[in-house]
Structures are given as structure tokens and as C-alpha cells.
Structure 1
Amino acid sequence: MSRSSLVSLLVFLVLVVGGGLFIGATNLPGEWYAGLVKPSFTPPNWLFPPVWTLLYIAIAVAGWRVCALGLAAAPFRLWVLQLVLNFAWSPVVFTLHRLDFGLGIILALLITIVLFIRVSWPADRLAALLFLPYAVWVAYASALNGALVVLN
């Protein structure tokens, strides 16, 4: 790996992992979330930070890989869109307390992730594969968000 490739990978890791940690730290669930009626399939709170950290690493690596295809290429545009949607969800849900808007965001995120996988597959299968666990987690999180809307 060249020095410039390593630097660009580090930039992606700092942007995505750092951005995700910042969004998480500044938009905590708090008492409001603790007081919600939750579905039986709600995971324990301790699970979220390690899962999201691993996912953010995979998201960063996939973004770094598709960036090489060009900033105007469909995979990179979808990658940017999913990151915007991902980073928007926590402030909308945990700060604005809008589970309904959060559900719309997370469903749009899930669609964008699936489109990213589909569009990037022919050009970079590893980038597409890196998004598979992300798709599964966001599908699960979408069901959780939907259940929270119904129960509350």
C-alpha cells in the first residue's frame, strides 16, 4: 500500500469512526429513551458501542475503496448519502425525540445501503461485502425503531 493510500484510508477512518463516536457522544439516549416501552428484542445497551465501532470501520474501508472509483461514481455518491443518513438518525431520535422521523431516516438508510451493495458489487465486491453486516444491523435497527414507534 502506498503512503498516499494509507493516508487516505486514515482520513476515511477518522471521518467515519470519529464522526460516529462524536454523534453518539453528543446525542445520548438519556432518560427519555430509558422511559420508552421497548420491544422484547431490544439488545442490551452495552452492545451498541462495539457493534457500531466495527461497522464504522467497515463503512470507512468500503468508502475508501469506492472513492478510488471516482467521486462522481454511483457507489461513492451512495456511500456519502448513507453516511449523511446514518449520522442524522441519532440527533433526530435522541435529541429531537422523533421516533417517527427516525424511522423514515433509518428506512431510507437501509434502502441506500442495499443500493450501495448492488451498485458497488460489479466494481468492488469487497466494498459491497463490507456493507452486508451493516445491512443486517440496520434492518434489525429498523425493526426496533418501528416497534418503538408502535409501542410509544
Structure 2
Amino acid sequence: MKFYARLILFLVINFGALGLGAYLMNDGPRTTWYANLEKAPWTPPGWVFGFAWTTVMICFSIFMAKLTEAKNNSTIITLFLIQFVLNVSWNYVFFNQHYILLGMINLILLTGLIAFMTFKFKPQLKIYTLFILPYFVWMIVANSLNGYILFTN
């Protein structure tokens, strides 16, 4: 499969994950439960989350398309699927079920996985590794926001 075909495939899957996550959060950011939480002073306005996730998923799709071009094996697909499950499930765990601690564990695991993928595949992807960095940075922000909520509520 050519690079652009893989890119489109990953874009569809990654934006599908965002859609599924939004569905599973059950109006999470607009609920009374979330509104009443003590949130971090650095919590960005709502529109930033949409912009950030759009940027993250475009860049991550490029990263995955390049990675599967350089090396296409079951380990890469398995890591991608674990990332997918962790990414989507956080919305349900945190917003729908209100399990703040479990949400934090979920984010820590996802951040660790993204860090692992960053360093594991850097030798193959070289400069294209930069395309996973927005995901890693956004996970650090997400961890800080979730952690603040966990420790202050």
C-alpha cells in the first residue's frame, strides 16, 4: 500500500477514534459533574482541545503512515491498537464513569506508550519522529490536567 493510501487509512481510523471517544464521553465537559470539579488554573478553553486533538491526529497519522512504510509488522499494529483503546477508553472512564484515578492510570499508560513509540522507532523514522511529538506533548498536558483534578477533588 502506498504512503498516501496508508495516510488516509490512519486519518480515518484516528478521527474515528476521536468521534468514538466523543460519543463515549456522554456530553462530559458540559455535565454538572465536570463543571463542579476543581480544575487546574492552566486548563485551556474548550476550543483548544478540539484544535489540539485535530493537530495531534493529523501528525500521528503521518507518523503511522511513515512507520508502516519503513517497517510494517504485527508489533507496530499491536502498539497502534493499544494506543487506540487507551485513547478512546479515557473518555468513557473519566467523563462517563467519573473514575478520575482510573483515568489518570489510563493517561499514564498512554503517555508511556507514546514515549516508547517515539524512542523505539526514531532510528527508522529519523526526522519523521517529529510527527509524534505533538501527541507526546499533549499527553503531558492531559496528565497535568487529570492529575490536578485527581489531587484536588
TM-score (norm 2): 0.88
- Alignment correspondent of 2:73: 71
Local SS of the residue matching 1:43 = coil
Distance 1:43 1:99 in 2: 19
Distance 2:77 2:24 in 1: 27
Taking only aligned residues, the RMSD between alpha carbons, in angstroms, comes to 1.8
- Alignment correspondent of 1:112: 113
Judge conservation of contact 1:86–1:109 (CA < 8 Å) in 2: yes
Distance 1:17 1:115 in 2: 22
User: Of 8, 15, 18, which aligns to 2:16?
Assistant: 18
Q: Structure 2: which 5+ residue stretches go unaligned?
A: none
**Higher relative helix content:** 2
- Spell out, residue by residue over 1:69-116, the C-alpha distance to the aligned partner (whole angstroms, 9 max, x if none): 11224x443333222211111111011111110000000111111100
Report the Cα offset of residue 25 of structure 1.
4.0
- Alignment correspondent of 2:5: 7
- Alignment correspondent of 1:40: 41
* Structure 1 pair 42–131 and aligned structure 2 pair: CA distance change class (3 A): same
| Runs of 4+ displaced beyond 6 Å | none
Distance 1:86 1:112 in 2: 11
- Alignment correspondent of 1:60: 61
Equivalent residue letter for 1:102: G
- In the TM superposition, what are the counterparts of 1:101-140 in structure 2 within 5 Å? 101-140=102-141
TM-score (norm 1): 0.88
Judge conservation of contact 2:20–2:88 (CA < 8 Å) in 1: no
Judge conservation of contact 2:55–2:134 (CA < 8 Å) in 1: no
Equivalent residue letter for 1:138: M
Report the Cα offset of residue 54 of structure 1.
0.9
Count residues in correspondence. 149
Equivalent residue letter for 1:93: F
Equivalent residue letter for 1:72: S
Judge conservation of contact 2:107–2:139 (CA < 8 Å) in 1: yes
Report the Cα offset of residue 26 of structure 1.
4.0
User: Which structure exhibits the higher relative contact order, with contacts defined as CA atoms closer than 8 Å and separated by 6 or more residues?
Assistant: 2
Local SS of the residue matching 1:47 = helix
Report the Cα offset of residue 36 of structure 1.
0.8
